[in-house]
Amino acid sequence: MIVPNEILRGARYALGVSQAELAQLSGLGKRTILRIERDERVSVRTLQRVQAALEAKGIEFVASEPGHGPGFRIPLALIKREDLRF
């Protein structure tokens, strides 16, 4: 599954990972991460590298299904109780 740029950006933010840290984790430049988050065109391989880096941090990406778009899940172990807002 190719994860949309917006979902990658949201997953990075949800983890509290900086653009510089994600660049290092994925082996890409910070400018490339910025391009992805600006929804600029990048190669599929680049998106896959970012996706793999976020998955290594615990994110689980969820594919689209009827009536619902793609998204991601965060393991409960990564969420602090005070961060939960309903």
Task: Give the range of the structural domain holding residue 13, as residue numbers without chain letter.
Answer: 5-83
pLDDT at 76 (0 to 100): 82
Whether 45 shows a pLDDT value over 60: the answer reads: yes
State the total domains in the chain: 1
Report the CATH number that the domain containing residue 23 is assigned in CATH.
1.10.260.40
Q: Of 26, 3, 10, 25, whose CA–CA distance to 74 is shortest?
A: 10
Decide: residue 22, CB within 10 A, 0-12 exposed, 13-18 middle, 19+ buried. Answer: buried
Asked if 13 and 23 count as a contact pair (C-beta separation under 8 A), the reply is no
Per-residue pLDDT tens digits for 51-70: 999 999 999 999 999 999 99
